Structure 1
Amino acid sequence: MRIVFHYNSLAQYGGVERVISDKMNYMVNMGYDIYMITTDQGTHLPPYKLDSRIHFIDLGIRFHTQYNYSGLKRLWIAIQLERKYRKKLRTTINNIKPDIIVGIAPMDLHAVIKYKGDIPLIVESHLMCDYTKFNEKTSLPILLHRIHLKKAYCRADIIVALTEGDANDWRKSCNKVKVIPNIVHINNTDSYCKITNKSVIFVGRLTTSKGIPYLLSIWNLVQPKHPDWTLNIYGEGPEKELITNFNKSHHANIFIHEPSSDIMSCYKNSSILVMTSYFESFGLVLPEAMSCGLPTIAFDCPYGPHDIIEDGLNGFLIECYNIEKFANSLCLLMDNSHLRKHMSIKAIQSAQRYKAERIMPQWIDLYESTRQERLSKKSKTI
């Protein structure tokens, strides 16, 4: 079977990039003919290793260049880039003749739908159905853009949500919705964190959606009680300056690190993982960290943490957005090494449900049944 994955680029360390890479590597090892089509890869190397048998095609559109301009000039450039993209996309799809197209980037879906013909389109919901309602900067253009995206999603043959909560949102306007959790890059060694290092870890892009102000407020409550503990933050983004300024003004034990290609080692050198997001379509770092033996603490935000953390068993789920309760739970784990050890064991066990061997058969069943349905429709028309 020939499957095309379509995304803007595999150019930075991130959850979506890791999941796509792992999924394609798994599929190609199962004998599938896998293609990766990007629009803006350019000269960037993929952040995660890809099997050499994967066909990587970059259309070279460079949509981001439109933002070098403003006003009518930007609009004109955007129109030209869209025309270039649609022409190249149509040619590429016709040349490959895939059995299935898997859409990852929502901005490209309208064009995919126009040129795919009867090829089934499966869309992965990595952004959540109603993600913009959690954005403090929601405006009329953003709302209109959301409506535009949802129309494209609902024209797909199948939408795959990562959680039941997101799936229920999609089902309000779309018919064919299925739930398959992300596969997770599970720690596959016999090495785990010792939970004795006085280090708390935060991993994620430093953006508004990750609740960085909450994180800093929590640490401001925790540090006076535990001055010998440190908070290690791994990530890049616009909120980095906020963290740096807070660190200076509060003399906080916070250390900012670049995203790591060996994040598992970073987990193993820590004792607790915290997540303070406003929302999470899944929350990949949670089961990743759990597989290394880390107890986790997160707000019970829409929708991922609720599906992953079993409150009081492998971590703590905190009501949104109770900073004081979050800080108290963090202090409890810092003070109680026996509780950390108990949660560490449970975390390792629960993380196993997200490993590729358990999740990927669900994807294969979906691809095979979707292909078979297409073949059945074709045979009926002959």
Structure 2
Amino acid sequence: MKLLYIVPKLNNEGGVARVLSLKLNYLIENFGYEVHVLTQNHGNFPLFYSFNENIVFHDMMLEGTIFNFFNSYRNSLKSKIQTIQPDVIIVSDNGLKAFTIPFFLFAKIPIVLECHGSKYIEERPLKSNLISRFKSSLKYKFKDFSANKFSKLVALSNEGLLEWNVNNSLVISNPSWIQNGELSDLKSKKVIAVARNSYEKGLDRLLIIWKKVIDKHFDWILDIYGGSVTDLKQTILEQGLEFNVNLIEPVKNISEEYLSSALFVMTSRSEGFPMVLLEAMASGLPCLAYDCPIGPRAIINEGENGFLIEDGNVDSFVKKLELLIDDENWRIKMGKNAKESVRKYDLEIIMKQWKMLFESLVKQ
């Protein structure tokens, strides 16, 4: 079977790149599929994660005015698809341009929309004026209308599926890749966060929480790993957090960093099905996250493997974090539950679901 994945880029350390590296490698190494990946604007070099050498990468250059951008996008896609002749096309792109694909690809090739984020994801704060609200409403309605034109929409959780007004859908979660035989002993006085520094990831919200926590727990350290996190250095200095926060660019051996930490925190404004939660839990870390749309509530079982906190409620987040900082036994109990709770996301289990989907689409 020949597959074509359409993605914005894979040359980053983000969760989408991580999960696609796992899935595409598995499709080749275990199912013998032929896999092509189409990125944009040099989005496949240099790669951060390891991709099988048999994956065929393609790239398209998109630039200029909105009209030129979309015209180039359409023409490039048509040309590449005509050359590759895939059996199935998988679109892994949250951008609005991805939702235009069903309207200009007329070849009878099944197209799957793989939703890695919330339908309501925003890259910057929404303005409250009438025109901005109208534009947002129009955008979400277009997404729903377009989503019904795909052969299948794949959401990462039941919660994610509820966002979409579609009939052609199913749920296939992201897989867990960490298979640590060992767990963190949860004794270190270190909290870890893994996220790029962007609006939707909400690291600004995390620093507000941490400022309150170290008033009582001044000997604890917060390690933040992710792209562009060093841009927060001035904010750290202004808030007097330089002795309690480490800003660290992405590392490939992130599993080792989980094992040397005691807790994982997430303060995103929007998520899909966060790989970092699976990674942290597979390493035995209790997790605390804001109940943002969507993702955390599909993974965190309140009071069992972590805490799910009302979105934006700083005081509640601080209280729950301090509870686990103060109680090592509770951390250990939650950590064991966390490890057990992610077993259902084993890579082999998830990839069998993808295989069944692809084969059913080709038979239609």
The answer to whether TM tops 0.5 is: yes
Residue in structure 2 matched with residue 45 of structure 1 by the alignment: 46
The residue correspondences of 1:121-136 to structure 2 (distance < 5 A) are 121-132=111-122, 135-136=125-126
- Root-mean-square deviation over aligned CA pairs: 2.2
| 2:167 is equivalent to residue 175 of structure 1 | yes
Residue in structure 2 matched with residue 70 of structure 1 by the alignment: none
Q: Note closer, same or farther for the CA distance 1:235–1:244 as it changes in structure 2 (3 Å cut).
A: farther
Q: Does the 8 A contact of 1:8 with 1:41 survive in 2?
A: no
Residue in structure 1 matched with residue 258 of structure 2 by the alignment: 267
Residue type matched to 1:93 in 2? I
Q: Does the 8 A contact of 1:162 with 1:282 survive in 2?
A: yes
The secondary structure found in structure 2 opposite 1:190 is: coil
Q: Note closer, same or farther for the CA distance 1:260–1:143 as it changes in structure 2 (3 Å cut).
A: farther
Name the CA distance, whole Å, in 2 between partners of 1:89 and 1:316.
43
Normalised to the residue count of structure 2, the TM-score between the two structures is 0.91
Residue type matched to 2:23 in 1? K
Name the CA distance, whole Å, in 2 between partners of 1:35 and 1:349.
35
Normalised to the residue count of structure 1, the TM-score between the two structures is 0.87
**Alpha-carbon distance, 1:108 to partner:** 3.4
Name the CA distance, whole Å, in 2 between partners of 1:133 and 1:80.
23
Residue in structure 1 matched with residue 74 of structure 2 by the alignment: 86
Q: Does the 8 A contact of 1:275 with 1:299 survive in 2?
A: yes
**Alpha-carbon distance, 1:154 to partner:** 2.4
Identity within the alignment, %: 33
Q: Note closer, same or farther for the CA distance 1:58–1:331 as it changes in structure 2 (3 Å cut).
A: same
Unaligned runs of 5+ in 1: 67-74, 374-382
Residues 69-112 of structure 1, C-alpha deviations (whole Å, 9 max, x = no match):
xxxxxx2xx43343333333222212221111001124234246
Q: Note closer, same or farther for the CA distance 1:279–1:113 as it changes in structure 2 (3 Å cut).
A: same
Residue in structure 2 matched with residue 244 of structure 1 by the alignment: 234
Q: Does the 8 A contact of 1:128 with 1:166 survive in 2?
A: yes
Residue in structure 2 matched with residue 376 of structure 1 by the alignment: none
Residue type matched to 2:145 in 1? K
**Alpha-carbon distance, 1:142 to partner:** 4.9
Q: Does the 8 A contact of 1:216 with 1:243 survive in 2?
A: no
The secondary structure found in structure 2 opposite 1:115 is: coil
Name the CA distance, whole Å, in 1 between partners of 2:135 and 2:245.
37
| 2:149 is equivalent to residue 155 of structure 1 | yes
Name the CA distance, whole Å, in 2 between partners of 1:363 and 1:313.
30
Aligned length: 356
Structure with greater helix share of residues: 1
Unaligned runs of 5+ in 2: none
Range with greater deviation from structure 2 (111-120 or 214-223): 111-120
The secondary structure found in structure 1 opposite 2:104 is: helix
Residue in structure 2 matched with residue 377 of structure 1 by the alignment: none
Name the CA distance, whole Å, in 1 between partners of 2:269 and 2:328.
29
The residue correspondences of 1:292-307 to structure 2 (distance < 5 A) are 292-307=283-298
Residues 255-292 of structure 1, C-alpha deviations (whole Å, 9 max, x = no match):
10001111111111111000111221112111111101
Residue in structure 2 matched with residue 228 of structure 1 by the alignment: 219
Q: Does the 8 A contact of 2:176 with 2:282 survive in 1?
A: no
Residue type matched to 1:182 in 2? N
Name the CA distance, whole Å, in 2 between partners of 1:79 and 1:355.
43
| 2:308 is equivalent to residue 317 of structure 1 | yes
Q: Note closer, same or farther for the CA distance 1:234–1:210 as it changes in structure 2 (3 Å cut).
A: same
The secondary structure found in structure 2 opposite 1:131 is: coil
Name the CA distance, whole Å, in 2 between partners of 1:309 and 1:249.
30
**Alpha-carbon distance, 1:152 to partner:** 2.9
Residue in structure 1 matched with residue 195 of structure 2 by the alignment: 204
Name the CA distance, whole Å, in 1 between partners of 2:363 and 2:45.
36
The residue correspondences of 1:46-85 to structure 2 (distance < 5 A) are 46-59=47-60, 61=61, 63=62, 65-66=63-64, 75=65, 78-85=66-73
Q: Does the 8 A contact of 2:92 with 2:115 survive in 1?
A: yes
